[in-house]
Amino acid sequence: MTDNINKIHHSSYRAAFMLILKRDLTIAFRHKDDIFNPILFFIIVITLFPLGIGPETNTLARIAPGIIWVAALLSTLLSLDRLFKSDYNDGTLEQMLLSPHPVFILVLAKITAHWLLTGLPLIFIAPLLAVLLHLNEHSYGALMLTLLLGTPVLSLIGAIGVALTVGIKKGGVLLSLLILPLYIPVLIFATSAIDTAAMNLPFTGQLAIIATLFISTLTLAPFAVTAALKVSTN
Amino acid sequence: MWKWLHPYANPETTYHLTGRLIPWFTYLTIALLTIGLTWALLFSPADYQQGDSFRIFYIHVPTATLSMGIYVGMAIAALCGLVWQLKLSDASAAALAPIGAVFTFVSLVTGAAWGKPMWGTWWIWDARLTSQLILLFLYLGVIALHNAFDDKTLAGKAAGILTLVGVINIPIIKYSVEWWNTLHQGATVSKMGKPSMTIDMLWPFIFCYMGFIFLIVVITCIRFRSEILSRNSMRPWVKELVLNGSSK
Amino acid sequence: MQFDSINGFLNMGGYGFYVWLSYGVTAFSIILLIVLSCQHHKKTLQHITQRYVRENKRKEAAEQQRIKQSNTLTIAETNNESSP
């Protein structure tokens, strides 16, 4: 009989996770603007740099990793607002905090949905934009790997920031001030990995550090988010 | 002078008129595009310098010119909608925007695919390609703004204002991008201008061009009718149309 | 015919990949646009139809309610009359 209870317990965690994940994805697909606007922002910001700096191939190739990663940071920042805002406004967030399921699971589901809609498109579009910036051919693999490992970190850390500021009226700029310093390690290691790849050297060291950041934020961030949400909904 | 147009300001008349016209325009489009593209692919001569990659020209140039033409058309429709409050005008501007965006995208991709064998690189920041990229952003902005509103009338007005601001901006953007390009003249001068075409090349080009124009007309009619329906869903003629259609 | 064989046609004098990439992307984008536009039209018609069908159903249900109520009233009246 304890076996059955354990089984029910497991499936109910997964069921809760999938429920919230599906809900968030469905809501996002009904407001397609929420998905496309950050991606469009990403593309436009990257386009602005050659216009400001000049089309000289070598200059652009030199700064391409930095441009792409900074643009990724900024567009993730823009997209974080919809993570908790509308749920906070209509009271769903409080209900989630009161539910018998551990809030960790529910928060993780919301962050996963956010990454699927923001980070994943970024990973696919970045190589195309790297062509515009004349990125060194050896760097494409590093670019996609760093984005694959790094964008979840951005969503996870960003969720902490949004959870802290969701109750604040003009929380937008405050959010950037809170989160961007926390994003700096990811930025540094990712651009370093891409630069190292351009010189045809192995970049597994930097990749390992980004992976460490990913695993630690994956396990720890939802707790911080829960605590922050409990503060915000008070 | 414009009295003969007045009956067409009635959504119902225009809906049925465009419905009757779509089949004819479709046949025309299919005929023109089949002739034009087959001629371009199979029968037109390869260019002396650019070889068979020149066949991309027959798609690239029409889509590029038409993408700008669609934007101008959108701007005229937006102007009519804002100045004379013509709802159908707003509907046609909303119908045109996605088509313009697709044409701009196609011109960028075909331009890049043409540039790779010619210039050795997929992308080059020359004046024309950069202006096309900015035009794509303008289109996507108009579409995004239109979708952000629930009320279609407000959406039409807002998107109309943005389109008009954009159309005034286009010459400014083109001028500044060309100036920027001459400053940073490290890039090779674009030789992708309209080459002097022989008759062998001119005819397939004309067929393709006209084919694309009528393609735009067909797709615009389809989207225009959807827009009319969604803006007039409360009217009795729509109710009758819908219930009669479902009972067939 | 500018080409001697199918292979020559596909190869396009060495530029095959670029020419077919261009024509392919063009065809794909335009067909996608047409299909999406037609689907959008159908969906709009469907939405409006559903709304009117629902409205009719609601009207009929309200009508039924009204008839039932007036029936019970007449039955009550006849009962009152029959029992003095």
pLDDT mean values, one per 10 residues, chain B (248 residues): 78 91 94 90 80 85 92 94 89 95 94 85 82 89 87 88 85 77 55 62 90 96 94 88 72
Chain C residue with the nearest C-alpha to that of B225 = C41
| Exposure string over B91-106, b if 16+ CB within 10 A, otherwise e | bbbbbbbbbbbbbbbb
Specify the 3-state DSSP secondary structure of A80: coil
Q: Verify whether the Cβ–Cβ distance C44 to B230 is below 8 Å.
A: yes
Chain C, 40 to 59: residues with Cβ < 8 Å from chain B are 40-41, 44-45, 47-49, 51-53
Mutate to test the interface with C, among B18, B53, B232 (most CBs of C within 10 A): B53
The answer to whether chain A touches chain B by having 3 or more C-beta pairs less than 8 angstroms apart is yes
Nearest residue of A to residue B122 by CA position? A131
| Chain A, chain B: beta-carbon pairs less than 8 Å apart | 41
Please provide residue B8's backbone torsions phi and psi, each rounded to the nearest 5 degrees.
-80, -5
Residue B170 CB burial class (10 angstroms; 0-12, 13-18, ≥19): middle
| Chain-chain contact of B55 with C19 (C-beta, under 8 angstroms) | yes
pLDDT of residue B189: 44
B58, B63, B106, B229: best mutation site toward chain C, by most C Cβ within 10 Å? Answer: B106
Contact assessment for residue A187 and residue A70, using Cβ atoms and an 8 Å cutoff = yes
- The tokens for A196 are 């190292």
The residues, ordered by sequence, that sit 6+ positions from A136 with a Cβ below 8 Å of its Cβ are A61, A64, A197, A198
C13 contacts B52? CB cut-off 8 A = yes
Q: Among partner residues B122, B140, B181, which is closest to A131 by beta-carbon distance?
A: B122
Chains that touch C (3 or more CB pairs under 8 A): B
* Residues in chain B within 8 Å Cβ distance of C30: 102, 106, 215
| Contact assignment for B144 to A37 by CB distance below 8 Å | yes
- What is the C-alpha R_g of chain C? 34
Dump pLDDT digits (tens) for C30-50: 999 999 999 999 999 999 999
Q: Which residues of B touch A54 (CB under 8 A)?
A: 180, 183-184, 186
Residue C29 is inside which H or E element, if any?
helix C16-82
CA closest to A53 among chain B residues: B184
- Note the residue count of chain C: 84
**What global pTM score does this model have?**
0.81
Q: Do C18 and B238 touch (CB under 8 A)?
A: no
User: CA–CA separation, B21 vs A90, rounded Å?
Assistant: 48
C contacts of B55 (beta carbons < 8 Å): 12, 19
% of chain A surpassing 70 pLDDT: 95
User: Are B125 and B181 spatial neighbours (Cβ–Cβ below 8 Å)?
Assistant: yes
CA atoms of A181 and A188, how far apart (whole Å): 11
- Nearest-Cα distance to chain B for C32, in Å, is 10
Q: A41, A42, A57: which to substitute to probe chain B, counting the most B Cβ within 10 Å?
A: A57
Q: Mind telling me how many Å the CA of A23 is from chain B's nearest CA?
A: 21
ipTM of the complex: 0.86
Within 8 A of A131 by CB-CB distance, chain B residues are: 122-123
What local confidence, expressed as pLDDT, does residue B248 receive? 46
Report pLDDT for C29. 96
d(CA B224, CA A82) in angstroms, rounded, equals 32
> Per-block average pLDDT, block size 10, for chain A (234 residues)?
52 88 93 89 94 88 94 94 90 90 93 95 94 92 95 94 86 84 89 92 93 93 91 83
B150 min Cα distance to partner chain A (Å): 11
Interchain contact, C13 vs B113, CB within 8 Å: no
3-state secondary structure of A91: coil
Note the pLDDT of residue A222: 93
Which of C48, C50, C51, C56 should one mutate to test binding to chain B, selecting the residue with the greatest count of B CBs within 10 A? C48
Instruction: Note whether C31 contacts B: Cβ–Cβ < 8 A.
Output: no
pLDDT score at B185: 54
C-alpha angle with apex B162: B161 to B163, nearest 5 degrees? Answer: 90
Q: What's the gap in Å between the CA of A20 and the closest CA on chain B?
A: 25
Q: What is the 3-state secondary structure (H, E, C) of chain B?
A: CCHHHHHHHCHHHHHHHHHHHHHHHHHHHHHHHHHHHHHHHHHCCCECCCEHHHHHHHHHHHHHHHHHHHHHHHHHHHHHHHHCCCHHHHHHHHHHHHHHHHHHHHHHHHHHHHHHHHHCCCCCCCHHHHHHHHHHHHHHHHHHHHHHCCCHHHHHHHHHHHHHHHHHHHHHHHHHHHHHHHHCCCCCCCCCCCCCCCHHHHHHHHHHHHHHHHHHHHHHHHHHHHHHHHHCCCCHHHHHHHHHHHHC
Q: Which of B134, B180, B184 has the CB atom closest to A56's CB atom?
A: B184
Do B144 and A36 count as a contact with CB atoms less than 8 A apart? Answer: yes
Is B121 touching A (CB cutoff 8 A)?
A: yes
| Distance of residue C18 Cα from the nearest chain B Cα, in angstroms | 5
Q: Which residue of C has its CA nearest to B98?
A: C33
Q: Which H helix or E strand runs over C48?
A: helix C16-82
Looking at the complex, does the CB of residue C26 fall below 8 Å from at least one CB of chain B? yes
Question: What is the count of residue pairs from B and C with beta carbons less than 8 Å apart?
Answer: 104
C3–B42: do the CB atoms touch at under 8 Å?
A: yes
